[in-house]
Every structure is written in C-alpha cells, then in structure tokens.
C-alpha cells in the first residue's frame, strides 16, 4: 500500500484517539488552585483512596466473572457452530446475531421486565406457589447483563478460529492414535487460542468499563468504574478526577491484557505439554 493511502487513517487516529487521549491526560495530571491550572498528582492520590480501589476491584471481579461465563458458554457454542454445515449453520449464526441488531439500551431494558419484582420470572414463581426473589439490582443481574450483551463477542472470534482449522489436522491426529479428548486438547484447542484471546479481550474490555448495565440492572447500588467515571463527568462535573480514574483503569487494563497475552504466547509454544 502506498504511504499516502494511510493518511486518512492517521488523521482519523489523530482526531479521535490521540487528541482525546492527550486531553484526558492533561485533565488527569492538573488541578486548579487559586484560579491557576498547575501540574499536580492530587487526582491520582484521590483515585487510590480505598473507597475507589474497592470500586475498581469490584469492576475487575465482575468483568472477569462475565468473561469467564462467556467463555464457558461461548466456546462450546462456537464449537458446535463450527462443526455444523449448510443451512443449519446459517440459521444458528443468524439467531446469534439478531439480538445484536437491537439497540443496546433496549436489550438491557428488556431484562428489567424479566427480572423485576413483578417480572416474568417472579410471576412464574408466584404461579407455582414459590416465594418471589430479589433478582434485579444485584451483582448477579449485572453479570447476567454483561454476559447477555457481550456473549457474541466471545463466540464469533472463537468460531472463526475453529472454522479455520484444517480438517486434515484433525485426521492426522486421529491417524496418530488420538481419541476425541486428545484431538481436542492437543490440536483443536491450542489452534483456537487466537480466537479465545480475541474473544476474552472483546468481552473483558467493554465489561469492565460499562456503565449502562450496572446503572440499569445494578440499580446504581454498587458503583462500578464505568458508573464512577460517568458520574464525575456528567453529574459531579469533576473532569479532572474522572480523567484520572480513566487513566488508572486504562493502566490496569494494559497490565491485565499484557499478562494475559504473555501466558497465551507461552502456550502457543507448546506449553500445553
């Protein structure tokens, strides 16, 4: 590709990524005292106060739980999808993608009507003579919302990776004496790891930063990072603190992801043996 062809993308990158990033860093590292803007670490000192550390930890744990559940549901789903052929496969893919065409807010709101005190589940329980349960505004509801919204981000990359595995590799493993288990754990799973890495990334990142899901399904009871940042910007109006929290969470994500990629590339070199 000619260099000049890359200019529009560079311009895009500059306007929508680099400049905002610089602005965030600028706000995060400055504070106003006596009407003058000056460099200061104050915002970060505050971000590391226990109250906010708890919020970050909680976000991390919930996002991790959602990612793990997405993986446990998504891998088998992708596997089944990859082995299907023809019309059945298209139908399944279609069913998987249809909810994604719906607005994100709408999709999440729909769970309200299912989970709420007079929602579908509780009415069913009531009809069966069972006590009603508090399903909404719990951490479980938040994780459920994350899984529901981000599951297809797990399934699709794994499905793609699995589909790319040459059938002759599986036959070669069988030929060399491998039964179903060995074929899966020594050949199929290692070769699908790139898809798993993408899937985990694509679920974990939106899960750890989402504020719509905890606001709607968590009822804003337990604040998560996303809600905290949203609050600072939109309600409290403290852009500087909001920026500092964003920078911290960005740092955590970078560390978490690089640890994850390091483990993955070890396995890629035959670490499974």
Partner 1 sequence: MTENNDNKLIELRNVHKSFGKTVVLTDISLYVKKNEFVTLLGPSGCGKTTTLRIIGGFERPTRGDISFDGKSVLNLPPYQRHVNTVFQKYALFPNMNVFENVAFGLKIRGRQSAEINEKVKAMLKLVKLDGYDKRTVLSLSGGQQQRVAIARALVNEPEALLLDEPLGALDLKLRKEMQIELKNMQVKLGITFVYVTHDQEEALAMSDTVAVMNNGEIQQIGAPEDIYNEPKNAFVAGFIGESNIMGGVMREDYVVSFGGDTFKCVDKGFEKNEDVDVVIRPEDVDLIDAKEARIKGVIKNVTFKGVHYEMRVQAENDYVWTVQNTVMSPVGAAVGIRVEPDLIHVMRRAAG
**Binding of partner 1 by 163 (CB under 8 A):** no
Helices (H), 84-188: 86-97, 104-115, 120-127, 139-163, 167-175, 180-182
Our finding on whether 178 is near partner 1 (CB under 8 A) is yes
The site map against partner 1 for 181-200 (x = CB under 8 A) is -x---xx--xx---------
The answer to whether 176 contacts partner 1 (rule: CB under 8 A) is: yes
Q: What are phi and psi of 30, to 5 degrees?
A: -125, 155
- 264 is a site residue for partner 1 (CB under 8 A): no
- Sole binder of partner 1 in the list 14, 18, 169, 263 (CB under 8 A): 169
**CB of residue 173 vs partner 1: minimum separation in angstroms?**
7
> Is residue 96 a contact residue for partner 1 (CB under 8 A)?
no
3, 172, 222 from 227: Cα distances, Å: 41, 51, 9
Least distance in Å: CB of 266 to partner 1?
12
The least distance separating partner 1 from the CB of residue 157, rounded to whole angstroms, comes to: 17
Binds partner 1 (CB under 8 A): choice among 8, 86, 131, 179: 179
Q: How far is the CB of 175 from partner 1 (least distance, A)?
A: 5
Q: Check the CA dihedral 189-199-145-222 and report its sign.
A: positive
Out of 86, 87, 177, 262, the residue judged to bind partner 1 by CB under 8 A: 177
CA distances from 97 to 77, 92, 101 (A): 13, 9, 7
CB 245 within 8 Å of CB 189: no
Token pair for 135: 């399903």
219 φψ region: left (φ > 0), alpha (ψ -120 to 50), beta (else): left
Structure tokens, 268: 């890629």
Select 193 or 253, whichever has its Cβ closest to partner 1: 193
The least distance separating partner 1 from the CB of residue 186, rounded to whole angstroms, comes to 7
Write out the residues near partner 1 by the rule CB under 8 A.
166, 168-169, 171-179, 182, 186-187, 190-191, 268, 270, 273
């Amino acid at each position: 590709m000619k260099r000049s062809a890359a200019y529009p993308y560079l311009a895009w990158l500059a306007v929508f990524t680099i400049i905002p990033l610089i602005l965030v860093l600028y706000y995060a590292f400055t504070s106003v005292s006596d009407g003058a803007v000056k460099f200061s670490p104050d915002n970060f000192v505050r971000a590391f106060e226990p109250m906010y550390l708890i919020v970050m930890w909680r976000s991390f744990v919930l996002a991790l739980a959602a990612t793990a559940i997405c993986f446990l549901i998504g891998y088998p789903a992708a596997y089944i999808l990859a082995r299907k052929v023809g019309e059945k496969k298209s139908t399944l893919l279609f069913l998987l993608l249809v909810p994604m065409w719906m607005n994100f807010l709408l999709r999440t709101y729909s769970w309200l009507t299912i989970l709420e005190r007079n929602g579908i589940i509780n009415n069913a329980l009531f009809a069966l003579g069972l006590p009603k349960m508090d399903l909404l505004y719990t951490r479980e509801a938040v994780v459920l919302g994350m899984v529901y919204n981000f599951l297809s981000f797990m399934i699709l990359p794994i499905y793609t990776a699995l589909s790319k595995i040459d059938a002759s590799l599986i036959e070669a493993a069988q030929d060399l004496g491998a039964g179903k288990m060995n074929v899966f754990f020594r050949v199929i799973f290692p070769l699908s790891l790139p898809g798993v890495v993408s899937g985990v990334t694509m679920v974990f990142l939106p899960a750890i930063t989402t504020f719509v899901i905890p606001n709607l399904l968590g009822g804003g009871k337990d604040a998560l990072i996303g809600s905290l940042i949203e609050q600072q910007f939109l309600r409290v109006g403290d852009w500087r603190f909001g920026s500092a929290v964003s920078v911290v969470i960005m740092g955590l994500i970078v560390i978490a992801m690089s640890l994850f990629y390091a483990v993955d590339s070890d396995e890629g070199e035959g670490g499974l043996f």
